[in-house]
Each structure stands twice: as C-alpha cells, then as structure tokens.
Amino acid sequence: MMKTALITGTTGQDGSYLVELLLSKGYEVHGTKRRSSSFNTSRLEEVARAEGHRPDGLSLHYADLSDASSITNLVRDIQPDEIYNLGAQSHVAVSFDIPEYTADVTGAATIRLLEAIRASGVDTRFYQASSSEMFGSTPPPQNEATPFHPRSPYGCAKVFSYWSTINYREAYGLHASNGILFNHESSRRGETFVTRKITRAVARIAEGVQNKLVLGNLDAVRDWGYAPEYVEAMWMMLQQDQPDDYVIATGEAHSVREFVQAAFERVNLDWERYTETDSRYERPAEVDALIGDYSKAKRQLGWSPTTTFTGLVHRMVDDDVQAVRDEKAGRNVRVEL
Ligand code: NAP
Ligand code: G4F
C-alpha cells in the first residue's frame, strides 16, 4: 500500500532531497512551507525540473513550527505513516542573534509535533533531525555514547529536541528516532553556510563577477558528507522495527581552510590571493572539531557514505559555476510551486 509522509522543512536542503527520495519510492508526500514575501520554493523547483513537471505525489501546506494549531491540524488531517521533522532555524551563527526564536522553532516545536502525534493517536513513525552540533566541545571522534556539550543556542535547542524524542519513545511507546547528522552539503545548501559560501564565491570569482571571499575561523574542522546520501539514512531509520538513535557521518575530517584550498584548486586559482578573514564571521563560542563515528549505522542500517571530500567539493564548485553561467544568460527564472 502507498505510504504517506509528512515533512517539516520541505523547502530546505534536506527536505527537497527527501521529497525526491520518497516520491521515487512511491510515497504520497505532504510538506510544509512558510509564508514568505518572496519565492521560497526554489529547491523544490529543482525537483519539479528533474521530474519535468510539478511532482504529482507532492502537496505543500502553509504551516509554521511556532504555530501549534497549524502543526496539529496537519498531523490530524493527513494521518501520515511517517513524519520527518526537518524544519528548524538551522544557522548556528544566527542562533546567537535570535536565541529565543531558535529555542522555540528548533527546540520547543519538536514537543508540538510529538504532542500532536500523541493527542491525535495517529499510528506513525517520527524522525527528529538531531545534529552533531550537540557534541559541541566534546572532543572527536563522536558517536551515540558521546556526552553533549553544546556551544550555541542552536545546539542547546537541538539537545532539547533530542531528549524530547527519546522521552516520547519511552513514555508513550512512540516509534521515534534521532538521526545525529554531521554536516552534509550539496549545491542546494543554504548560501550562508560555509561550504556553499565558499563554492559560490569561487564560482563567481572564476567567472569574473566577484573579487574576494571573506570568512571567519579557517581552523574549524568538520566532517562533511553529501546530503542526498544522508536523507537515505533518515528513511532507513524509520524502516527499522525498533526506533533508535544513529550517528550519520563520513569519519573524514577537514578544516575550513582545506575546503577553501580544494575549491579554488578546482578552478585553477590560488586561494590565498582571493581569501580574507574578518572577525565578524566568528562566533561567540566555536565548535572546534566534529568527526563522526558512524559504525552503528553501518552495522544496524547497512548505511555507509560514498561521496569523498574531494568529490563533494568538485561537485559543488562545478554546479555553482554552471549556476553563475545560467544567471548571466538569464536562465534562472523562479516560479510559484
Ligand atoms: P535548511 O536548509 O536551513 O532548511 C530548514 C527548513 O526549515 C527550511 O525549509 C525552512 O523554511 C524551515 N523552517 C525554518 N523556520 C521554520 C519555521 N518557523 N516553521 C516551519 N519551517 C521552518 O536546513 P537543512 O540543512 O535542510 O537541515 C534540515 C534539518 O537538519 C534542520 O533541522 C537542521 O537543523 C538539521 N541538521 C542539518 C545538518 C546539515 O549539515 N545540513 C546537520 C545536522 C542537522 P524556509 O525555506 O522558508 O526558510
Ligand atoms: O557551515 P557552518 O555555518 O556550519 P555549522 O556551524 O557546522 O552548522 C551546520 O552543521 C551542523 C551539524 O554539525 C548543523 F546542525 C547546522 O544546522 C548547520 O547545518 O560553519 C562551519 C564552520 C564553523 O566552525 C564556522 O565558524 O565554518 C566556520 N566558518 C568560517 N567562516 C564560517 C565562516 N561559517 C559560516 N557560516 N560563514 C563563514 O563565513
């Protein structure tokens, strides 16, 4: 029988890839979108382009994670088999500027969803988008047993959501799982996260429409994977008989500096000539190093990453070079979805 899924955050990087994955598996997919004064469905337009038309199995609903009634109504009306809570104020640096909003949308909203499930009695499986940012200053390698020491309002909010998910599993027997995902990137990554900021700038510099790239801390170390592979792991978690929590990562670590270097190398430019640093892009508290140990996911889910660091950098730079060329040629037209 055809399954039904509800995804919060459908318009984000992961949401758009998860929509593609679930549609390809024959799901009826319901997603949330926020009211915005400008087009905010560009990533889903990419899905539509790939399909050649607006995907038949996809319905979008206006909702906001800060609005409990919109969330409760969706869960009650759709009665989904699976719920993926991907919506969040997901920018760590921004969470220092809007901590209360981040606590609400990235933290408390998870309780809104879990309560909507419990109160409606719907028989569903729940995925919570937990984050390696929860490990904060605890040294790597990090796995499911590693203690959390969050270093940002975002990280604190994600810890709240993580434990709420486990609490509803233990208290009410919900099939609720946490995916503790390390950084994952793609050409659909938000333009203000460091990888995309770099690859976009490199492409624009190579195409002669930007002069320099200005960054914050170049020493931070991250474990960067490829987003489409990570949404596959989300789905795998909800297909297990028992709910559980899993680290999803590559285990490969690189600094921001190495990412910059590899990106400029792809277009045969010297990174040091074009890159500057400015303290305005530094954070009040930094997470120095995140490197994931995904052995539990490999063992229990059969999940492993395949895209290498260099492969990821090349793909993102190439896609951004193409995007700049399309922009120059006036080929980037946005439509309502
Ligand atoms: P993203 O691109 O920033 O997408 C976030 C989504 O949440 C967008 O659809 C956004 O809508 C939506 N959203 C924001 N505020 C909302 C609100 N008040 N009500 C309803 N929806 C709201 O993030 P992502 O990279 O796809 O990540 C997906 C999830 O995984 C997030 O929860 C993130 O915190 C978590 N995560 C991400 C990573 C990573 O490396 N990407 C790693 C670990 C965990 P708009 O499009 O309208 O802004
Ligand atoms: O790309 P970032 O902003 O990602 P960050 O903070 O690691 O958070 C991302 O990954 C988390 C998983 O661990 C997710 F939960 C979260 O939602 C988000 O997707 O920054 C990466 C590193 C940081 O150390 C930052 O200080 O890059 C450093 N950095 C240096 N210059 C910069 C910049 N980050 C940004 N965004 N912009 C800069 O100019």
Q: Residue 79 — pLDDT band, cuts 50, 70, 90?
A: very high
Structural domain includes residue 330: no
Tell me which residue range forms the domain holding 93.
4-186+225-252+286-306
Structural domain includes residue 315: no
Distance 194 CA to ligand 2 centre (A): 6
Structural domain includes residue 267: no
Looking at the predicted structure, is the pLDDT value of residue 48 above 90? no
Provide mean pLDDT across the span 194-203: 98
- Nearest atom in ligand 2 to the alpha carbon of residue 181 is 12
The yes-or-no answer on residue 17 being catalytic is: no
What tens digit of pLDDT does each residue of 157-177 get?
A: 999 999 999 999 999 999 999
CATH at 292: 3.40.50.720
Structural domain includes residue 263: no
Residue 247 and residue 58: Cα distance in Å, rounded? Answer: 29
From the candidates 84, 154, 230, 274, which is the catalytic residue? 154
Indicate if ligand 2 lies below 6 Å from the C-beta of 132: yes
Tell me which of 4-13, 31-40, 41-50, 286-295 is least confident.
Answer: 41-50
Looking at the predicted structure, is the pLDDT value of residue 241 above 70? yes
Distance 65 CA to ligand 2 centre (A): 23
Structural domain includes residue 277: no
Indicate if ligand 2 lies below 6 Å from the C-beta of 89: no
What tens digit of pLDDT does each residue of 98-155 get?
A: 999 999 999 999 999 999 999 999 999 999 999 999 999 999 999 999 999 999 999 9
Sequence-distant (≥ 6) Cβ neighbours of residue 334 within 8 angstroms:
39, 42, 45
Structural domain includes residue 234: yes
Structural domain includes residue 201: no
pLDDT value, residue 108? 98
pLDDT value, residue 282? 98
1-25 burial, b at 16+ Cβ within 10 Å, e below that, comes to eeebbbbbbbbbbbbbbbbbbbbee
Structural domain includes residue 26: yes
52-90 burial, b at 16+ Cβ within 10 Å, e below that, comes to eeebebbebeebbbeebebbbebbeebebbbbbbbbbbb
Domain count within the chain: 1
Phi-psi region for residue 44, left (φ > 0), alpha (ψ -120 to 50) or beta? Answer: alpha
What tens digit of pLDDT does each residue of 306-328 get?
A: 999 999 999 999 999 999 999 99
Q: Between these two residues, 4 and 330, which has the higher pLDDT value?
A: 4
